[in-house]
Amino acid sequence: MFSQFLDKGDKSIPECEPRKFFDAEEELFFKRIQKALPNCLIFPHVQLAAILEAHVSNEKKRQVMRQKLRERHLDFGIFSQDLTLLCVVELERTDDAPKDEEYPTRKLLKSAGIKCIRWSRAALPNAEQILRTLAPYSDLDAPKVETSMQTIGKFFSEEDLNDPATLHEKAFTYVEHGNPNALSLAALSRITPDSFIKKEYPHIWKKICLFAGDPGYLKNYLESLFVQNRPIKRRGLPKHVATEVMAIQSENARFVISKEPEPIWDPSFLHR
C-alpha cells in the first residue's frame, strides 16, 4: 500500500519504445486499398466519435454517449478529396467474440447512413476484389500530382538538375504509385498524346491507370483487350485505339521481367 502511494507521486517520464502503426493484416490491406482507390484518401484507425454525433437531448446521456464513441475505432475510413466520408472498412478476426454492446457499432453507422464494408483478416481481398466491391467510389477524379521541383528534386542527382534533357527523361520514371520501375500516369499521357483510349474507352483507360504500378498485371490486362474468343462476341478495338494500346504495351515491356518470349500479335485483328 505504501508503494502504491509512492507510485502516485512519481512524476518521472516512463521509458517508451516505438511500435508498428499497422499489424501485418492492416499493412497488407492498406497497400492493396491504396492501389485499388488511388483517387481516394484512406485514413486508418478512425475514431467513431470523429464521424458520428449522437442526437440525445439529455446532456448527461449525451456526454456518456460521446465517451462510448471515443472508445471505439474503425479500421479504415475512405474519403473523397474534399474529405467527404464515402464508407468505412472493418477487418474482422475469425476468433472475435460477438460483442454484447448496448449500442452496436453497426446500428449506429446504419442510423447515420454510413456504409460499412467488412472483410475477414484471414481472407483479405486483393486489389481487384476491393475495386469491384468499392466500384461506386472509383469514378472520382484522381488527385493531382505535385510536380514542383521542391517535391521531386530529392529523386535526382545534382547533375540531373543541371541537365534539363536528362531531368525530363528521368521524371517519367518517378511515379505517383511509388514504383520507379513502372509506367507513371504522366508517361501514359505522353505515350498517348491523342488520348483516343481515354476519350473513347474511359473504362479501359481507368483500368490502365489503375494497373500501371504493376507492370506484370498491366501486361496481362493489355493482352486481354485483344482476346476475341470471349463468351460475348465483340467487334474489337478500332485501329487508332489499338495502336495506342500497343504503344503502351511496348513501353510497359521494358519493366516486365519474363523468361518467356513476348507474344507476337496478329495485325489482322485490326480489320475484324
Condensed to tens digits (0 to 9), the pLDDT of residues 217-227 reads 888 889 888 87
CA angle 146, 152, 157 (to 5 degrees): 170
What's this model's pTM, rounded to 2 decimal places? 0.48
Query: Given this model, what pLDDT does residue 56 score?
Result: 78
Contacts of 72 (CB under 8 A, 6+ apart): 47, 48, 49, 105
Give the domain ranges of the chain.
24-137, 149-271
Q: How confident is the model at residue 271 (pLDDT cuts 50, 70, 90)?
A: very low
Q: For the domain 24-137, what is the CATH superfamily, name and number?
A: VSR Endonuclease (3.40.960.10)
Query: Given this model, what pLDDT does residue 61 score?
Result: 83
Query: Given this model, what pLDDT does residue 22 score?
Result: 87
| Lowest-confidence pick of 57-66, 113-122, 261-270 | 261-270
Query: Given this model, what pLDDT does residue 8 score?
Result: 61
In this structure, are residues 137 and 86 in contact, taking their beta carbons and an 8 Å threshold? yes
Say if strands 73-79 and 85-92 run parallel, antiparallel, or are unpaired. Answer: antiparallel
Q: Which residue has the higher pLDDT, 236 or 100?
A: 236
* CA–CA dist 176, 182 (Å, integer): 10
Query: Given this model, what pLDDT does residue 143 score?
Result: 44
| Lowest-confidence pick of 10-24, 28-42, 112-126, 230-244 | 230-244
Most confident of 109-113, 184-188, 210-214, 224-228: 109-113
Q: How confident is the model at residue 162 (pLDDT cuts 50, 70, 90)?
A: low
Most confident of 138-147, 149-158, 176-185: 176-185
Contacts of 51 (CB under 8 A, 6+ apart): 74, 77, 85, 88, 112, 114
Mean pLDDT taken over the chain: 76
Interval 67-99: pLDDT, tens: 888 889 999 999 988 898 999 999 988 765 556
Contacts of 268 (CB under 8 A, 6+ apart): none
Residue 46 has pLDDT above 90, yes or no: yes
Q: What is the mean pLDDT of residues 8-14?
A: 76
